[in-house]
Structure 1
Amino acid sequence: SISSVMHILCLLVYDIDLEISESALPGTRFRLESAQDPDSGINSLQNYQLSKNPSFTLAVKESPDGKKQAELVLEKSLDREEESSHQLILTALDGGDPVRSGTAQVRIKITDANDNPPVFTEQIYKVSLRENLPKGTLVLQVKASDRDEGLNGHITYFFDSIPENTRKLFHLDPENGEITNTAILDFEEKNDYTMELEARDGGGLTDHCKVHIEILDENDNAPEVTILSVSSPFPEDSPPGTVIVLIKALDPDAGQNGELSCSIQHNLPFKIISSSINYYKLLTDSTLDRERIPEYNITITAIDKGSPPLSTQKTILLQISDINDNSPVFEKPSYTAYMSENNPSGASIFSVKASDRDLDRNARVTYSLLSSNLEEVPLSSYISINSQTGAIYAQRSFDYEQLREFEVQVQAQDGGSPPLSSNVTVRVFILDQNDNTPRILYPSVGADGSTLFEMVPRSAEAGYLVTKVVAVDADSGHNAWLSYHLLQATEPTLFSMGLHTGEIRTARAFADRDAVKHKLVTLVKDNGQPPLSATVTLNLVFAENFQEALPEMSDQSGDSTPQSDLQFYLVVALALISFLFLITIIVVITMKVRNSKGSSILQHVRPALYSKADPRFLPDYEAGTLPYSYNLCLATDCGQNGFNLLKSSDQNITAENILCNDNSGILLVNNCGSEAPKSASETLLKVSFCSITLVMVSLLWFLIKFFRQ
């Protein structure tokens, strides 16, 4: 009928949309919307047909009221990821003739079930990073995929199993899986990191992977130098090869960046060698001398083989300890000291100084006296020395005239063990002071201050050498330079005196108006400061012979007692002369009878009745600076006293023979072993006795000549 057709046509207009979860189990039935057929009976809806599909089948149920109900039966599991939808054709058939049908499109949408977990693209991710990367640098991005869709396909990333310190170094973006560093990575702290990551979808399914991060070393660490032990101060006598310092040197870098070498600066008496891995020894390479270099600043340099290389320097101060290897050294090889005589006891003479290049006790110098050339008395009685300062002191007052110089050996010894020492010679010169007055040798002065008479011929012309004052000074140098001065004279115009010779000469010829007797007072003065002097008085008589001079000399006596003694001695002398004269005549006659030859007589008479005294030098009179040598003439027979009247025939009398020359017109007293004349009377007596003896000898000589003829 028309109505039936219309109903079927209406059925074809509507499509059927179904959503079936992919997780639906096989056998699950899904009821389809029923077709409507207004016919009844056999012409009504009788059956349904479904297009072929391996996943679905059609089941038709009949309800109790006779209606047909189509159900879609799931034959096998669905997989949305493989086929997300199905298109089926459902056909409704009636029982009329001809059969009428209507179709409807069944659109089946497979809804997703979380049946697929996330899947990482790699199970193990490996990456190599340079150390010292800046913060926030992308290290790695992990990627996981999920075949599900929607929330089931939304993946979130998490750290699954990671140490806390590693978690502080890296950050994982949960949405995109990017891993970045949150701190500076240091190869020397940790050179690799391993972490587990989880990818989780919205349905709770997960997947896991591992990430291995290798840190690549850079030469970012300089070598580290550690001084393990050092021997400071170090003995200067240590032999070469002695260990001074133990050193540990290492580099945290790897490979060539961690290979290093150690060295020290050049021109040092040390060397550095490797004893084992990362360990070095600093040794002495030659002998040390603390006195030359007391300490060393040793710079140890460790350098690696990186590019560019890095280095580290460590400086140590090595002090050299002292040993007693240096003797004290005096400032001079020898010393010369000068000390004025008459010094007070304890006065400082000189000071020696020695230095020792060693240190502390080894350089502590003490001084002592060893020996001297003073052998007669102990050295300690002359000088002493301060053991600490080296000052030399006089222990007595020195006398230049007794000791002019001496030498002493001074020792300087240090305080080391064993001690070392050195010696030096100190030569001490005693400086003369003007402490000795001139000593007048001639004319000699008696105990009463009187001197002998000098006889001057009346016929003496101007320039005639009357006598010579001879004096010496025990001092030396300027202090011994003597000058002679005429202080007083009976007739000042008659005499002159040599300033440096002491010679007294006539300034003019003797005149009748001049006195016969003259007294001269002479002054002998040295050149010291202040000058010292001595005076002597000379008695001169102008006469041609002794007989003429004798009365003048006798007038000098002012004592009656000495004059009486003089007369007594003269009488005795005349008697003795007469007796000797007679004996001599008898002897001569006897010899003449025995031997008529005059030569025989002469052989018996020729021995001299008097002789010049052999010169005996007074001590120290030739040691002065004056170019004179004075001799004192004494009679050979000191037991006899006599007078010798010596005639002057030479005006040029030198200082060496003025006391010994027979040509000097001077009256000498042979007074060996006795005191000087006690008075002018005794002097006159002896002069008279000498004159009588001379007369006797003259007579004897006359007799000998007579008998020879």
Structure 2
Amino acid sequence: HTRQTFNAVTINNTDRQYIDRGKAPHFFISDQNDHSPFFQNDFVVIGIEENVPVGTLVYTFHARDEDGSFLNSKLQYSMHMKDFTENPFLIHPSYGSLITAVPLDREITQSIVLTVFAVDQAVNLTDRRQSSLTAKIVILDVNDNTPHFVSSPVSYIREDAEVGSFVHHIIAQDPDQGRNGQVTYHLLSNSKGLLVTIFALNRECQEYYNLTVVALDDGTPALSATQSLTVIVLDVNDEAPVFTKNHYHTSVSEDIDEGSTVLELLAMDADEGPNGKVTYSLVDGTFGMFAIDRVTGAIITTKPLDREIKSQYILKNPIIRLFIEASDNGNTPLTAVTLVVIQIQDVNNYTPQFTVPTYELSINENASLGEKLFTFSAIDYDRTHQNAYVEYSIIGGNGSNTFSVENCVLGPESPDKVVGNLVLRNSLDRERSSFHQLLILASDHGTPPLNATATVLITVLDANDNPPVFTSLEYHVHVKEDFPVGSPIISVSASDYDSGSNAAITYNIMSGNDNGHFRLEEKTGSLHLVRALDYEETMEFTLTVRASDGGVGVKNVAFAIVFISILDVNDYAPIFVFPSLDCGVTENLPPFSSVCTISALDFDTGPNGHLSYSIQSSCLPDHGHHGDPDMFFMDPLKGEICTKHTLDFEHQNKYCFIVQAKDKSDLTATIIVQVNVRGADEFDPVFSQDQYFFDFPEKNEAGQLVGKVTASDYDGGLDGAILYTLIKPSAFFSVNHSSGSVYLTRSFHRKRHSIKKTGKTLELLIKAHSPKLNSRSSTCTVLVNISNTPESFSMLPAQTVSVSIAVSTVTFLLLEQTMPLLFSA
């Protein structure tokens, strides 16, 4: 009994035994661990501030146990938490006191749930009892966190933003709870962190603003944080470019090099970035002569300045006016325009130019003295009189003073235009000099003077007083008869000392080309073959060719002979008279036996007509006789075919191969050769039985089948064909020669022919042999037993049919209409 450990007990002595009255009996009751510990509540919630130091008492757990024994009611406390690698609390095992083991942080962990166990200390571990409760530790917030800014410390706003425009949203966060985490902002228009403009901005006056923002929480005591906020004013394209000058003036010589800088402009733009980046362009008035660097503003020449030719802007004092535009790179560009005046200074920069660099003319050698041969001129693009005035002279090639130049002004309307006339001063002699090359000079009057030269090529024309001359009076050439048609054979050539058309020579064939085998090119003298040659038809040609000059009226001519010899070639291939040849040979002949001889024709003569023979390949691929050529060899000169091995008719009775005939030039012909092997009678026929026994009924009729004998022969062909014959003629029986069937030729009876009832055996001898005379043969015995059975055997109708074969006439007995034919065509 656990509630009272000691009690008085009244004892009744029913068995009347002796009891000492002076001593009262005492009884001790032993406690049993029959009560479990228990907590007053199954679940408790405990609050603790997050800033308490380590070791602070959080809560004391108390459980009770109603067992009476000390150990059975002594309790020990423990706890368990999930998801914690490090226990934030410790519990006293005897007193149940819960204390902090690590610093607490509500911003990391807001609450902790743990299970507390109370276990009694019964002696036997298996008898121990326990109970538990769940405790939720709520960590209370303390204002221990300073607000921190999460918004960017830099903000941007366009300079053209209106007053009151939103600039920046300032955001600060405080991880504390409640009022401790509520943040307000200092020095701003409101506590929500919205920054707005209060006056107009101008980036050109101030590019950015530095502000200090204070974020303050509502805790006790309050905590704060500051942030330096930079507000950058973004540029707007509100400033146009401005040139450093209102207009520009410069002068330049017209011989300035291409790509030279004439003037460099500068425009400023107070904006920044693309809005302040200035590019330059030409508006008009460039005449294709100038360009401007878009970045630097440098005006450069794009080609040499040409004061004399560009008349559209040339005056006595030529001036070029260019309009230059400066533009920024804003989305809507702003521009400025300025005027650039360029004065071009003239120089003598143009050399006179002849109309052509070379003049060519032809003069008859009998031209008159003082005759003006031709007029020439040069152009000078300079404008001033001295720079453009040109005079002419001969400076080379006139050693004999045969020619001179006269300078002439065109007329009063062109006082600066002078032309030159080439005049003949001395007589010409073509035989002494048929060609003259003069060098003439054109020079202006500029300072320094500029000049140019031209070449005059003068050809002296001659009279047609010289005939053509062949390089040889005879030409010899050898040509093969298979020379390709259309190919050149030889070229004839003639020359003429005349010049011009008088020396132009044409060629033609005068004789020897009756069959039109040749063509002579009129201009080149090249002789071509136009018809095939045939040595057997014509072995030589003799051609007479003529050369004619190109004189007007009477032409001068010359003649030459061309001898053409035709060379024979191997132009005939071998031929066989027939496309195929059949040869026969008997089997079992020894190797190297002659089979047959092949001969081909070749119409060429000499070595070209000599032929060689060879076996090429089999011509029976469908029969699988790919080794047919291996059974024979051939004499390459005589064309004789011989056996390599002994032939066996029974193994193969036909060979086919291709024979080739080839001449010295590898021209070939082929023929199909078929070798038919003739069989020899090597084997005796063999009957299927040595003796045949047949029963025959007593009642019989003529034409009745008695029985059939069968023999075979290992020979092939006709030697293997079997014929059957009775060795001794019989009055009652006959044998079919081809089938071996034995027939009754006439009826008979036992009584009529004295045959006993007990039966009588008749004996026949039948020979098997081939259709050939004196062929091998064998015999068999046929025993016919006359039976007294009254029924007769079934009769087979007999019909005789004759067919023809190459060796003899064979008579067949057709036993039945449906029986397959023994022979086929």
TM-score per shorter chain, which class?
0.3 to 0.5
Q: Going by fraction, where is strand more abundant, 1 or 2?
A: 2
Radius of gyration: which is bigger?
1
Task: Name the TM-score, length of structure 2 as normaliser.
Answer: 0.31
Q: Going by fraction, where is helix more abundant, 1 or 2?
A: 1
